[in-house]
C-alpha cells in the first residue's frame, strides 16, 4: 500500500486486521449456530413428544433428492475451499472457475429443493391448508418444522450465493488477491456453515426413522 | 508496535488538534459527516439521540398509565388502550432504551478510548448497527399507526394470545428481531475490539472495569440474542402460515415458547445491568481517590454473572407448569447468581472505606443506585424462592422488583454515566447544584412511585390491570404522585444538560481527577483519540498517576 492510501485509511478509521476479521466472522457464525440451535431444540422436543408420527411423516420425504442435494452441497464446500487455496497460491483463473462452480452447485441445490417442495404442495402438504390441519398433530409439527428449517436453510443458501457472487467479482477485479484474501476466506466460512447445517438437517428429516 | 498487522501507531496525525465535533472522518461536512461517519464517538452520540428520545417517550407512556391509575374506575383510557400502553412502554423501554442504552452510547464512546485504541475493530459495521437500530425503531413506530392498532400482548408476546391478537403483532415483533441484529453486530464488534485493539501493555487485567463489563455484555449479546431472533421468527411464521409450532390447537407447546423467550430475555436482563455495574466501578474509585477494592473479583464476577445468568431463565416460569425438578434447580441457580452481584456491591463499598470521598454529582447518583439496586436485588430473592413466588407471581411486586433493578439500577446509572462523562464527551460542564438537586428529587420520586407497588403486590394487586379495587387507592395515589416528581426530574436533567451544552463553562480535560485513559486526552476528544498510542504501565485505578498527569 502506498503512503497516500495509508493516510486516507487512517482518517476513515478503517484499518486492516485479518485476524480480527476472522475472529468477527467466527463470532457471527456462532450466532448462526445458535439461531438454528433454537430450531433443533424445538425439533428435539417434538420428536420426543410425537415419535411415531414423526416417523410416519418422515417416510413421505424423498430420500434420493435429499441425498443428491447433500452430495451437491458437500462438493460445493470443496470447490470453495479449493478456490481459497488457489487464490492463496496466486492462481486467479482456478479460483474463478472454482467459485463459479460453487455458484452453479448452489443453484442446483435450490432447483432440487424447489421441485421437492413443489411435490409436497401438489399433495396438499401446505402449512395452514385444510388437508394439512386434518392430519394428526405430530405430522403437522413435522411438516411445519420441515418447511421452516429447510426454508430458513434455503434462505441462507441464497444469501451465501449473493455473497459468493460478490466475491467472484472481487476476484475478477483483483480486489481479492494473493496478499489480501480474508474476504473470500470469511465467505468460504459462511458457506461451510450453510453446508454444516444441512448435514444436520438431512439425517433429522430424511434418514432417522 | 504490539500488533503487527495494525499499522496505525506511526502514521502522520493532523497538525492542529481539532475535536471530533470539528473534524469529519469522511469528505462530507454538515449532517452527512455524521450520517456517514465511521468515528465511534460520533456513532455513540447518534445512538444517544435515538435512545434518549425513546426513553422520554417510554417515560411519558408510563406517566399516562399512572394517570389512568390515579383513582379506581378506569376513567381515562379503555382497557384495550391500556393494554397497548403497557405493551408499548415495555417494548420501547426494553428494546429501544435499556438494552442498547449504556453499551451503544458509552460503550461506543469510551470502550476504544479506555483500551487506548483509535476506534472499534469494525468501524463500518458499527455504523451499520446504528442504521439497523434506526430501521428497527422506525418499524416499531410504523406498527403503531397501521390498521389493526398497536400491539397489545405485553412485551413478552406470550403464545397463544400473540397468535390470536388482531393487533399489529407481526410488525412490532419483527422490529424487535431487527433490533436484535443491531445488538448482535455491536456485540461482535466489542468482543473483537477488546481482543485485538488493546494498547501495548494493556493486559486483560489492566483493563478498566467498564471494559470488562462491556466485554462480558457483548458475549451475552452474541450468545443470547439469536435465540430470541428465531423465537420471534417462529411467532411471525405461526401468525402468517399457521405451522403449529407453538399453537396448542395444532399440537404446539406454549410453554416451549416461554422457555425460548426467557432463554434470551433473562440473559438480556444482564445485558442491561452489567454495563451499569461497569460504570459504577469507574465512578467509585474516581471519587473515592482510591484504587478499586478486589479488581479481579469484580472482573470475574462480571463473567460469572454472564455465565450463571444464562442458566436461570426458568425462574420466570415457576407457575407455568414446568416440572418441580426444574423449579427447584432454577430457584437454586437464581440464588447463586446473587453471589457475584453481592461480591460487586461489597467491593464497591469496601473501595469507599477510608477513601477520600469527593461527593460530586456522579458519585451521588451511584449512591442512589446502590440503595435502589440493593432493594431490587433483595426483592429478587423473594421472587426466586419458590414458596413466596407462587403468592407474588404476576402481581405488582414483580413490577416493583424489576423497576428497582432496571430503572433504579441501569436507569440510574445511565444518568450517572452522563454526569460522569458529559464534560469529556462535550467539553462543557453542567450546573453541579442542579445535578445535586436532581439526585434528591429523583430518589424521592422513584421510591414514591415504586415502593407502594411492593405493598400492593403483596396484598394481591395484579399487574397489567387498568382498574383496581378501592382498597388500593392510597397506594396508587402515592405512586402516581411519585411518577410526576420522577418524570419532571427527568426533564429537568435533560434541560440542564442541554443548557450546559450551549451555555456551560468549558470543562478541563480531567474535571474529576480520574486516571483511566479517557482523562488523559482533551475534552472533547480529538478524532484520533490519541496522538500516539499510549503504552500502558500502570494499573487502571492507580491514582499515583495523577501527579504525572498534571504535568502532561
Of the partner residues A50, A127, A136, the one whose CB lies closest to the CB of residue B243: A127
Between CA B307 and CA B313, with CA B312 as vertex, the angle to 5 degrees is: 120
pLDDT band at A16 (very low <50, low <70, confident <90, very high): confident
Q: Count CA atoms within 13 Å of residue B226 on its CB side.
A: 19
Suggest the residue from B3, B12, B177, B243 to mutate for an interface test with chain A (most A CBs closer than 10 A): B243
What secondary structure letter does DSSP report for A203?
I
Q: Which of B304, B310, B302 is nearest to B273 (CA)?
A: B302
Suggest the residue from B8, B177, B244, B531 to mutate for an interface test with chain A (most A CBs closer than 10 A): B244
- The ranges assigned to domains in chain A are 3-207
Q: Are B299 and B210 in contact (CB under 8 A)?
A: no
The predicted pLDDT at position B6 comes to: 42
Q: Are B492 and B85 in contact (CB under 8 A)?
A: no
pLDDT band at A13 (very low <50, low <70, confident <90, very high): low
Of the partner residues B25, B40, B184, the one whose CB lies closest to the CB of residue A31: B184
Q: Does A117 touch chain B (CB under 8 A)?
A: no
Q: What is the mean pLDDT of residues B427-450?
A: 97
Measured CA to CA in angstroms, residue A118 lies from A67, A115, A124, B87, B242 at distances of 18, 5, 10, 40, 19
DSSP characters for B191-235?
A: HHHHHH-PPTT--GGGS-HHHHHHHHHHHHHHHHHHHHHHHHHHH
- For helices B40-68 and B79-91, the axis angle rounded to 10 degrees is 160
Q: Does B431 touch chain A (CB under 8 A)?
A: no
Of the partner residues B26, B223, B233, the one whose CB lies closest to the CB of residue A34: B223
Q: What percent of chain B has pLDDT over 90?
A: 85
Euclidean distance between CA atoms A105 and A17, whole angstroms = 32
The predicted pLDDT at position A129 comes to: 84
Task: Read off the pLDDT of residues B91-147 as tens digits, 9 standing for 90 and up.
Answer: 999 999 999 999 999 999 999 999 999 999 999 999 999 999 999 999 999 999 998
User: What H or E segment, with its residue span, contains residue B506?
Assistant: strand B505-506
Q: In chain A, what residues touch B159 (CB-CB under 8 Å)?
A: none
Q: Are B523 and B508 in contact (CB under 8 A)?
A: yes
User: Which residues 25-44 of B have a C-beta within 8 angstroms of A?
Assistant: 25-26, 38-40
Task: Read off the pLDDT of residues B79-103 as tens digits, 9 standing for 90 and up.
Answer: 999 999 999 999 999 999 999 999 9
Measured CA to CA in angstroms, residue A103 lies from A160, A172, B283 at distances of 9, 15, 54
Tell me the CATH number of domain A3-207, given options 1.20.120.80, 3.40.50.10240, 1.10.10.10, 3.40.50.150: 1.20.120.80
The predicted pLDDT at position B88 comes to: 94
Q: What is the mean pLDDT of residues B447-470?
A: 96
Q: In chain A, what residues touch B218 (CB-CB under 8 Å)?
A: none
What secondary structure letter does DSSP report for A176?
S
Of the partner residues A24, A45, A147, the one whose CB lies closest to the CB of residue B122: A24
User: Which residues 56-115 of A have a C-beta within 8 angstroms of B?
Assistant: none
**Sign of the torsion formed by the C-alpha atoms of B422, B426, B432 and B437:** negative
For the record, the C-alpha cell of B54 comes out as 425513546
Contact A38 B260 (CB under 8 A): yes
**Sign of the torsion formed by the C-alpha atoms of B358, B364, B368 and B370:** negative
Task: Read off the pLDDT of residues B478-492 as tens digits, 9 standing for 90 and up.
Answer: 999 999 999 999 999
Q: Count CA atoms within 13 Å of residue A154 on its CB side.
A: 18
Report CA B533 to chain centroid distance, whole Å. 30
Euclidean distance between CA atoms B23 and B12, whole angstroms = 16
Q: Residue A180 — φ and ψ, nearest 5°?
A: -150, 85
Q: Residue A131 — φ and ψ, nearest 5°?
A: -65, -35
Euclidean distance between CA atoms B260 and A43, whole angstroms = 13
Contact A17 B253 (CB under 8 A): no
Q: In chain A, what residues touch B250 (CB-CB under 8 Å)?
A: 133, 137, 140-141, 144
Suggest the residue from A3, A9, A12, A13 to mutate for an interface test with chain B (most B CBs closer than 10 A): A13
Between CA B334 and CA B342, with CA B337 as vertex, the angle to 5 degrees is: 130
Q: Does B227 touch chain A (CB under 8 A)?
A: yes
The predicted pLDDT at position B16 comes to: 53
Q: In chain A, what residues touch B222 (CB-CB under 8 Å)?
A: 27, 30-31
Q: Which of B142, B302, B333 is nearest to B209 (CA)?
A: B302
Helix (H, G, I), strand (E, B) or coil at B509: coil
The predicted pLDDT at position A209 comes to: 73
The alpha carbon of residue B125 is apart from the nearest alpha carbon of chain A, in Å, by 11
Suggest the residue from A6, A144, A150 to mutate for an interface test with chain B (most B CBs closer than 10 A): A144
3-state helix/strand/coil string of B69-111:
CCCCCCCCCCHHHHHHHHHHHHHHHHHHHHCCHHHHHHHHHHH
Euclidean distance between CA atoms B18 and B29, whole angstroms = 14
Euclidean distance between CA atoms B201 and B538, whole angstroms = 9
Q: What is the mean pLDDT of residues B384-413?
A: 95
Size of interface A-B (CB pairs under 8 A): 135
Q: What is the mean pLDDT of residues A92-110?
A: 97
Between CA B266 and CA B275, with CA B271 as vertex, the angle to 5 degrees is: 145
Q: Which of residues B74 and B447 earns the better pLDDT score?
A: B447
Contact B230 A141 (CB under 8 A): no
Q: In chain B, what residues touch A127 (CB-CB under 8 Å)?
A: 241-244
Domains by residue range for chain B, with CATH = 41-551 (1.20.210.10)
Contact A17 B242 (CB under 8 A): no
Q: Does B235 touch chain A (CB under 8 A)?
A: no
Helix (H, G, I), strand (E, B) or coil at B368: helix
Between CA A141 and CA A150, with CA A147 as vertex, the angle to 5 degrees is: 125
The alpha carbon of residue B537 is apart from the nearest alpha carbon of chain A, in Å, by 25
Q: What is the mean pLDDT of residues B377-396?
A: 94
Label the pairing between strands B505-506 and B428-429.
antiparallel
Contact B6 A15 (CB under 8 A): yes
Suggest the residue from A30, A31, A142, A143 to mutate for an interface test with chain B (most B CBs closer than 10 A): A31
Between CA B266 and CA A135, with CA B159 as vertex, the angle to 5 degrees is: 130
For the record, the C-alpha cell of B190 comes out as 466489542
Contact A31 B6 (CB under 8 A): no
The predicted pLDDT at position A130 comes to: 84
Euclidean distance between CA atoms B162 and B247, whole angstroms = 10
User: Which residues 518-547 of B have a C-beta within 8 angstroms of A?
Assistant: 527-528
Amino acid at each position: 500500500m502506498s503512503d497516500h492510501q495509508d493516510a486516507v485509511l487512517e482518517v476513515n478509521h478503517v484499518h486492516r486486521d485479518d485476524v480480527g476479521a476472522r475472529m468477527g466472522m467466527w463470532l457471527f457464525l456462532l450466532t448462526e449456530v445458535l439461531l438454528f440451535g433454537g430450531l433443533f431444540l424445538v425439533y428435539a422436543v417434538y420428536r420426543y413428544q410425537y415419535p411415531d408420527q414423526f416417523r410416519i411423516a418422515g417416510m413421505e420425504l424423498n430420500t434420493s433428492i435429499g441425498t443428491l442435494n447433500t452430495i451437491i452441497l458437500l462438493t460445493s464446500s470443496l470447490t470453495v475451499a479449493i478456490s481459497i487455496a488457489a487464490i492463496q497460491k496466486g492462481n486467479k483463473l482456478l479460483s474463478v472457475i472454482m467459485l463459479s462452480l460453487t455458484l452453479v452447485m448452489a443453484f442446483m441445490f435450490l432447483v432440487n429443493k424447489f421441485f421437492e417442495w413443489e411435490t409436497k404442495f401438489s399433495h396438499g402438504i401446505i402449512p395452514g391448508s385444510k388437508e394439512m390441519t386434518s392430519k394428526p398433530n405430530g405430522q403437522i409439527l413435522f411438516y411445519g418444522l420441515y418447511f421452516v428449517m429447510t426454508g430458513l436453510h434455503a434462505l441462507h443458501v441464497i444469501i451465501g450465493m449473493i455473497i459468493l457472487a460478490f466475491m467472484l467479482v472481487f476476484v475478477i477485479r483483483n480486489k481479492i488477491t494473493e496478499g489480501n484474501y480474508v474476504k473470500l476466506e470469511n465467505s468460504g466460512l459462511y458457506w461451510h456453515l450453510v453446508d454444516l447445517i444441512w448435514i444436520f438437517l438431512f439425517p433429522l428429516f430424511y434418514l432417522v426413522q | 508496535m504490539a500488533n503487527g498487522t495494525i499499522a496505525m501507531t506511526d502514521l502522520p496525525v493532523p497538525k492542529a488538534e481539532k475535536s471530533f465535533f470539528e473534524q469529519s472522518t469522511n469528505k462530507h461536512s454538515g449532517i452527512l459527516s455524521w450520517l456517514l461517519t465511521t468515528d465511534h464517538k460520533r456513532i455513540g452520540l447518534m445512538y444517544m439521540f435515538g435512545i434518549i428520545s425513546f426513553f422520554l417517550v417510554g417515560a411519558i407512556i408510563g406517566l399516562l398509565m399512572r394517570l389512568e391509575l390515579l383513582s379506581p374506575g378506569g376513567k381515562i383510557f379503555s382497557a384495550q388502550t391500556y393494554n397497548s400502553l403497557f405493551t408499548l412502554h415495555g417494548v420501547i423501554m426494553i428494546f429501544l432504551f435499556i438494552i442498547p442504552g449504556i453499551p451503544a452510547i458509552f460503550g461506543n464512546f469510551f470502550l476504544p478510548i479506555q483500551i487506548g485504541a483509535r476506534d472499534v475493530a469494525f468501524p463500518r459495521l458499527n455504523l451499520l448497527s446504528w442504521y439497523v437500530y434506526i430501521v428497527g425503531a422506525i418499524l416499531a413506530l410504523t406498527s403503531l399507526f397501521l390498521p389493526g392498532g398497536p400491539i397489545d400482548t405485553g412485551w413478552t408476546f406470550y403464545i397463544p394470545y400473540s397468535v390470536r391478537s388482531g393487533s399489529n403483532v407481526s410488525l412490532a415483533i419483527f422490529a424487535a428481531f431487527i433490533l436484535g441484529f443491531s445488538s448482535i453486530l455491536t456485540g461482535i464488534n466489542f468482543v473483537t475490539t477488546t481482543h485485538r485493539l488493546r494498547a501495548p501493555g494493556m493486559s486483560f487485567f489492566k483493563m478498566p472495569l467498564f471494559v470488562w463489563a462491556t466485554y462480558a455484555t457483548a458475549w451475552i449479546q452474541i450468545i443470547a440474542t439469536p435465540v430470541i431472533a428465531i423465537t420471534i421468527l417462529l411467532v411471525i411464521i405461526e401468525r402468517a402460515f399457521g405451522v403449529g409450532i407453538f399453537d396448542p390447537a395444532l399440537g404446539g407447546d406454549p410453554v416451549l415458547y416461554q422457555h425460548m423467550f426467557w432463554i434470551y430475555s433473562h440473559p438480556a436482563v444482564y445485558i442491561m445491568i452489567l454495563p451499569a455495574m461497569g460504570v459504577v466501578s469507574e465512578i467509585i474509585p474516581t471519587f473515592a481517590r482510591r484504587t478499586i477494592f478486589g479488581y479481579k473479583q469484580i472482573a470475574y464476577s462480571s463473567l460469572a454473572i454472564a455465565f450463571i445468568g444464562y442458566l436461570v431463565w426458568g425462574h420466570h416460569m415457576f407457575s407455568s407448569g414446568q416440572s418441580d425438578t426444574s423449579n427447584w434447580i432454577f430457584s437454586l441457580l437464581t440464588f447463586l447468581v446473587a453471589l457475584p452481584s453481592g461480591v460487586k456491591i461489597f467491593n464497591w463499598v469496601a473501595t469507599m472505606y477510608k477513601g477520600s470521598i469527593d461527593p460530586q454529582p456522579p458519585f451521588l447518583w451511584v449512591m442512589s443506585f446502590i440503595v435502589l439496586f440493593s432493594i431490587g436485588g433483595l426483592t429478587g430473592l423473594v421472587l426466586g424462592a419458590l414458596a413466596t413466588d407462587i403468592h407474588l407471581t404476576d402481581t405488582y411486586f414483580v413490577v416493583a422488583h424489576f423497576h428497582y433493578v432496571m430503572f433504579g439500577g441501569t436507569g440510574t446509572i445511565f444518568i450517572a454515566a452522563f454526569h460522569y462523562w458529559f464534560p469529556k464527551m462535550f467539553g462543557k460542564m453542567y450546573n453541579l447544584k442542579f445535578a445535586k438537586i436532581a439526585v434528591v428529587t429523583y430518589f424521592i420520586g422513584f421510591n414514591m412511585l415504586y415502593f407502594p407497588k411492593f405493598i400492593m403486590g403483596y396484598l394481591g394487586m395484579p399487574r397489567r390491570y387498568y382498574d383496581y379495587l378501592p382498597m388500593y387507592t392510597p397506594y396508587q395515589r402515592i405512586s402516581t404522585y411519585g411518577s410526576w416528581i420522577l418524570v419532571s426530574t427527568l426533564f429537568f436533567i435533560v434541560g440542564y444538560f442541554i443548557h450546559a451544552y450551549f451555555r456551560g463553562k468549558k470543562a478541563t480535560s480531567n474535571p474529576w481527577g480520574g486516571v483511566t485513559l479517557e482523562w488523559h486526552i482533551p475534552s472533547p476528544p480529538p478524532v484520533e483519540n490519541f496522538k500516539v498510542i499510549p503504552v500502558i504501565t500502570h494499573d487502571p485505578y492507580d491514582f499515583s498517576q495523577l501527579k504525572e498527569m498534571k504535568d502532561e
